[in-house]
């Protein structure tokens, strides 16, 4: 209880100091949400989107899960994506992995994590796809760091395979998809990949929007 009450107290202090610094802060936010970015990041408590990008409330629409995965059957994620692309009309979607990711480390082990096995499975698939490249790296930490990067890149590619994104590309140049990785050690975000409306997708993943459309596009 004490820890929880401390959070509520900290919130009151924060709200008060925001109002003192900028009397219109909350009034502005209540009436306006026009973020240009959708952030897909890890749930890890050390990687908070606003703090590490030095942005304010209202600037980034955020979705976080273990190991920043883009799963094409995840209703939660798909709803966030659809809202961000079609209603908020975000210009950029940023998948941000981070070195030292517990989800990545767990997926590289053979430990049975029960329910979590199911969530981590797509990371094992990324490992398997890049097994040759990864197993040349003898240092275990460096190998995990490379898997963090490859996993992030694959999640950006997964985004491009989703019809919500492709449908938007049929009518505009947005959203631009980016993948990057955050270092817990120095706080710096490193760019990895950009995919935009002009990037050629493998034919099997392309949807033809001239065909009859279904309700869920």
Smallest gap from Cβ 39 to Co ion, in A, equals 14
* CB 99, CB 180: distance < 8 Å: no
Q: How far apart are CA 157 and CA 179, in angstroms?
A: 9
Smallest gap from Cβ 82 to Co ion, in A, equals 25
Smallest gap from Cβ 128 to Co ion, in A, equals 20
**Toward Co ion, which CB reaches closer, 68 or 166?**
68
Please count the residues of this chain forming the interface with Co ion, following the rule CB under 5 A: 4
**Residues involved in catalysis:** 42, 44, 46, 98, 101
β-sheet bridge partners, residue 97: 181
State in Å, rounded, how far the first CA of the chain is from the last one: 46
Q: How far apart are CA 122 and CA 128, in angstroms?
A: 10
Contact code string over 23-42 relative to Co ion, x by CB under 5 A: -------------------x
> For the chain, how many residues are written?
217
Chain-centre distance for alpha carbon 199: 20
Q: Which helix (H) or strand (E) holds 157?
A: helix 140-160
**Toward Co ion, which CB reaches closer, 101 or 159?**
101
Question: Does position 145 bind Co ion by CB under 5 A?
Answer: no
Smallest gap from Cβ 148 to Co ion, in A, equals 8
**Toward Co ion, which CB reaches closer, 44 or 154?**
44
Contact code string over 74-103 relative to Co ion, x by CB under 5 A: ---------------------------x-x
**Exposure pattern of 154-191 as b/e (b: 16+ CB <10 Å)?**
bbbbbbbbbbbbbbbbeeeebbbbbbbbbeeeeeeeee
**Toward Co ion, which CB reaches closer, 61 or 119?**
119
Binders of Co ion among residues 154 to 173 (CB under 5 A) are none
Q: Which residues here bind Co ion, judged by CB under 5 A?
A: 42, 44, 101, 103
């Amino acid at each position: 209880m004490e820890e929880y009450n401390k959070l509520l107290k900290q919130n009151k202090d924060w709200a008060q100091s925001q109002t003192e610094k900028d009397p219109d802060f909350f009034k502005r936010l209540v009436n306006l949400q026009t973020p240009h970015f959708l952030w897909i990041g890890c749930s890890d408590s050390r990687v908070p989107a606003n703090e590490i990008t030095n942005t304010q409330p209202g600037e980034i629409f955020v979705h976080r899960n273990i190991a920043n995965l883009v799963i094409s059957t995840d209703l939660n994620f798909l709803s966030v994506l659809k809202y961000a692309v079609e209603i908020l009309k975000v210009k950029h979607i940023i998948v941000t992995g981070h070195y030292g990711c517990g989800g990545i480390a767990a997926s590289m082990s053979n430990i049975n994590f029960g329910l979590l096995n199911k969530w981590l499975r797509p990371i094992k698939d990324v490992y398997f796809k890049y097994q040759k490249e990864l197993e040349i790296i003898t240092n275990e930490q460096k190998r995990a760091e490379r898997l963090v990067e490859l996993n992030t890149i694959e999640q950006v590619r997964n985004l491009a395979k989703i019809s919500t994104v492709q449908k938007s590309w049929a009518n505009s140049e947005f959203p631009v998809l980016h993948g990057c990785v955050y270092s817990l050690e120095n706080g710096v975000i490193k760019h990895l990949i950009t995919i935009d409306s002009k990037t050629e997708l493998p034919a099997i993943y392309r949807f033809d929007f001239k065909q009859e459309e279904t309700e869920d596009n």
